[in-house]
A and B are shown apart, each in its own frame.
Chain A
């Protein structure tokens, strides 16, 4: 660390280097921190969360009872202890609330004044954050599993929607209508994702165990279908041709630079694909428990030198090194299945929501400052700590000798 700092001071290093090193360190020390809480608003499982890309300050969460909550993540109190307050809520009492489980929520990428939510009540609503009223409601024939707005698109404002119908719907926010349909899948679409690199590239994952990559400018068909065997016919049985997984594919995630695509399936596997060629990189992540019948929301760190994948795995969140497939750690804190997790790229924090109604904040747990430098003050601090927290002390009674 000191080396990085001196190098930075001397101007030898790229500023990015220091940043990467520090964020990697922070990510590796992610812990469930007693200093950080998230208000317990949801009375039911949390299906989806999203952190706004503009400020990184507000977090949306959608619950399986239809409730949507906006949290303020920023700690302005100056104290270590902070509870993320709920700024506003679309509760059960609101007349605009979703009738059934909210499956996906997403901020409008350029402004927190608007967000989009989709639900099992077959609707997708575009909300005005200020009034908490839907500005637009799209209705579909089947349950909406997933939708996505392109995070970088400047030329279009399309929302890709995956429903129970095998056709992918493209809705235009400008006109407020469904303008396009992409056909090719044979079962419900569980997840859709725009590429963060090219604004016309869309990846979709379906229950027919296929993952297709589309260029929305081309109406005729998909660009390519991901194949787990990379086209090696000898390994693939006739049905397994062009499949990404041997089960339902329910999770999709591009890396921060958009060069790679991660997919998870109910065959308990996670695969890393080259998003340009559709080639399976054959990184072995081992078993990634996945029993969800719905969309699984997982995320990739940004700005670390080896990037990390955070993927819900049963009642914990598994952290893998992206390119080596090494399991770095398991973040255990939920008491029931975890459905979603979202990485805060600025603070290197992770938020995860699960069926136990909790949203947990995983905050870097940095080492206390070195004791050697100021032994006295640290002693003082230690004493303070012990006085604050007698629970951390051992309590062996003397009669046990």
Chain B
């Protein structure tokens, strides 16, 4: 055999085996065959190179080598004899007959190799088994001793099959247990979930009776009409409900929010005294015609304005108000001309150009008010219950049932439950309930009940009271200080409602304000600072109580006790003579004058912590993404160092600062950060065609090129965060450093306490 042929063969075999492809390259293979055809020497050479490749610890290499062997095995007798002579090793390397020599990674390829090898051995046996004894022996060995089932697609040995079987049985048992547990669990909580759903449903229909999305709820078919009897008035109430609702409806269904609000109120009123309310309503309608209604409506809106005005742009709002009013007031005009005087008398409004502010929010919107607070909180609780408990549980059941293939019925039931729960959640979402901030229930459980009771009994609540006398404000849970942040248009209106807070919340807020760590305290300071001047201008006269607040309160002390007098024996230490019978101390002065003590008793420390001023400047150092740093630290930003004055582009204003920054930048650029990995950069360069300077970097690192780029990298799996950390934490120098520190600590302890027995030992 010529040397060139030999070299060419080795080259081809290496190329083929290191291609990493699941299939051989046909052209190369053909070339090998062509050379092999020439002489047996070539075959021998190929055989040896294939065997050496089979010995490589890489499943892809082995697979390719095995494929070459298969190709040649069916062609050449000589190759067959050679291979069969060494069939033990061949089987070890491809079928994994020796359990101590498992097939190398990657795993999937190894599995593929194994099953392919077993199938191939079987086909060889059927075609050549009679002629090659060792082949037959090997086949029988696989069949009899290793108990390979050649019909099994996975080509597993008996041991593996048994293990599989055992695992399956175990899983089955576990699943069965689980299904039992889960079905029991489901039986138990089925009722509960059903109750929850019903409750949720009725709550929602209370909040919004016209809610016609019931059809999305397949199981819980409670129609909105079938509410408990005592709540039905809400439906009956609708016609006699204030006309503004109808008006709103007419104006556009978009204003449902308004509608719901009023409706809710009427709901509530219906509960406390339907007849009373009807009476008053009628009266109002009779006497004041539309004015009362309008006022009410306006007040309503203004009350809301108080909440929303911060968010809305004033000018726009005004414009909108005008526009809205023009639309809405068409109906009211006749009434207005008639009862103008009456209107002025009643409302104190000099002008008719009051404004309406309607929020055109799409979809439903339920706002929590005091009226529907109980219902809303129930809904909230139920919602939370469903989210945190029922839905996960049901999902878990469904999962268990589907995984274990349990009875269809159980699964259906679980799915039904899940669907209805989800429907309830969806519905809840549709309602867009605005929750108020809430006091934790556990703390106020008892008072909560009381509140509810009060709620029902209070008769004043029945109608809307536009004017609340000053002395009653606290009772109504209103801020004693009226908010100044109302719109200028409403200034003349009688003291209107500030953001409404329940008495509970108020209490809570007060508590929070006492706590200096709480944000509320800061807020209070701010509001006090802001509010006080306004208050003084608004209210009739500054009250004395407010002055007392301004005066500092200091703890009582000796200096105050002797205020303006001479202290009798200040700064004197009086030593009493010994009372002992015969032990007498040496003569000492009975009184010792002490300057320091004297000064101390006369002076008083008053600490001036200063007042809290919130930081108004930003760090505004330029960030990578082009923005400026938005951190508001007082002196030093943790990322950008000392805060220095900067212009709007983030450049430092002072010259020395700018110089320093530039220097820093240069320094940073010089030391290479970790992410500028040479290989990564080389990749990027290859992709973009731009020189990023990877060569420079590459020289620094080892930059070892992979020998066979096509093979899957076995070491890749080792490049995990854990291994990287290990490399850092467990490297030699780090270990040495730690050991040094620890031994130093030990030595110190030893030096200190070596004379003590229990320390001396270690």
A residues apposed to B, CB below 8 Å: 32-34, 40, 43, 315, 332-336, 355-358, 360, 389, 391-397, 400-401
Contact = CB atoms under 8 A, between A and B. Distances in A.
Interface size class of B (residues with CB under 8 A): 20 to 34
A231 to B, nearest CB: 40
Interface in B85-141: 85-86, 88, 91, 97, 127-128, 130-134, 137-138, 140-141
B140 A396 contact: no
B131 A392 contact: yes
A336 B140 CA distance: 12
Contacts of A40: 140, 144
B724 interface: no
A400 B37 contact: yes
Contacts of A360: 137
Given A40-B140, A335-B141, A396-B76, A33 B133 contact: yes
A333 B134 contact: yes
A391 B144 contact: no
Contact of B97 (A34, A335, A358, A394): A335
A32 B131 contact: no
A332 B144 contact: no
Contacts of B74: 395
B575 interface: no
Contact of B131 (A33, A336, A357, A391): A391
B137 A394 contact: no
6 contacts: A32-B133, A332-B88, A333-B137, A394-B77, A400-B30, A400-B34
Interface string B287-317: 0000000000000000000000000000000
Given A315-B88, A332-B88, A391 B133 contact: no
B145 A396 contact: no
Contact of B130 (A32, A333, A391, A393): A391
Among B30, B85, B127, B134, residue most surrounded by chain A Cβ atoms (within 10 Å) = B134
A396 B33 contact: yes
B33 A32 contact: no
A109 to B, nearest CB: 32
B131 A389 contact: yes
Contact of B77 (A336, A358, A393): A393
Contact of A392 (B75, B77, B97, B145): B77
Contacts of A356: 141, 144-145
Given A332-B134, A335-B137, A356-B141, 17 more contacts: A34-B130, A34-B131, A43-B144, A315-B88, A333-B137, A334-B88, A335-B88, A335-B138, A355-B145, A356-B144, A357-B144, A360-B137, A391-B128, A392-B77, A396-B37, A396-B75, A401-B34
Contacts of A358: 137, 140-141
Contacts of B33: 396, 400
Interface string B48-80: 000000000000000000000000001111101
B137 A391 contact: no
Contacts of B131: 34, 389, 391-392
B456 to A, nearest CB: 89
Nearest to B37: A396
A192 to B, nearest CB: 30
A396 B34 CA distance: 9
Given A335-B97, A391-B128, A357 B77 contact: no
Given A335-B91, A336-B141, A394 B133 contact: no
A335 B96 CA distance: 12
Given A335-B141, A401-B34, A395 B134 contact: no
Contacts of A391: 77, 80, 127-128, 130-132
Interface string B27-40: 00010011001000
A360 B137 CA distance: 9
Contacts of A355: 145
B85 A332 contact: yes
Given A335-B141, A400-B33, A400-B34, A32 B134 contact: yes
A43 B143 CA distance: 12
B58 to A, nearest CB: 25
A393 B132 CA distance: 12
Contacts of B91: 335
Contact of A394 (B76, B132, B141): B76
Among B76, B128, B131, residue most surrounded by chain A Cβ atoms (within 10 Å) = B131
Interface string B132-158: 111001101100110000000000000
B164 to A, nearest CB: 23
B85 A335 contact: no
A400 B80 CA distance: 19
Interface in B632-655: none
Nearest to A397: B75
A357 B128 CA distance: 22
A389 B127 CA distance: 11
Which 8 A-B residue pairs are closest in the complex by CB-CB distance? A391-B131, A335-B141, A34-B133, A391-B128, A400-B33, A356-B141, A389-B131, A396-B37
Nearest to B86: A332
Nearest to A315: B88
B145 A335 contact: yes
B688 to A, nearest CB: 45
A356 B91 CA distance: 14
A338 to B, nearest CB: 11
Contacts of B97: 335
Contacts of B138: 335
B475 to A, nearest CB: 97
A32 B37 CA distance: 28
B75 A395 contact: yes
Contacts of A394: 75-78
A400 B134 CA distance: 29
Nearest to A42: B144
A283 to B, nearest CB: 28
Among B30, B127, B133, residue most surrounded by chain A Cβ atoms (within 10 Å) = B133
A395 B78 CA distance: 11
Among B74, B85, B145, residue most surrounded by chain A Cβ atoms (within 10 Å) = B145
A4 to B, nearest CB: 31
Interface in B351-379: none
A336 B99 CA distance: 12
Contacts of B127: 391
Nearest to B91: A335
B501 to A, nearest CB: 86
Contacts of B85: 332
B145 A336 contact: yes
B5 to A, nearest CB: 15
Contacts of A333: 133-134, 137
Interface in B9-37: 30, 33-34, 37
B85 to A, nearest CB: 7
B133 to A, nearest CB: 4
Nearest to B144: A357
Contacts of B80: 391
Among B33, B80, B86, B137, residue most surrounded by chain A Cβ atoms (within 10 Å) = B137
Among B86, B88, B127, residue most surrounded by chain A Cβ atoms (within 10 Å) = B88
A355 B146 CA distance: 11
A357 to B, nearest CB: 6
Contacts of B144: 40, 43, 356-357
B714 to A, nearest CB: 29
A397 B137 CA distance: 29
A40 to B, nearest CB: 7
A399 to B, nearest CB: 9
B242 to A, nearest CB: 96
A400 B76 CA distance: 13
A53 to B, nearest CB: 29
Nearest to B76: A394
A154 B314 CA distance: 130
Nearest to A393: B77
Among A43, A360, A392, residue most surrounded by chain B Cβ atoms (within 10 Å) = A392
A332 B89 CA distance: 10
Nearest to A389: B131
Contacts of A401: 34
A389 B128 CA distance: 9
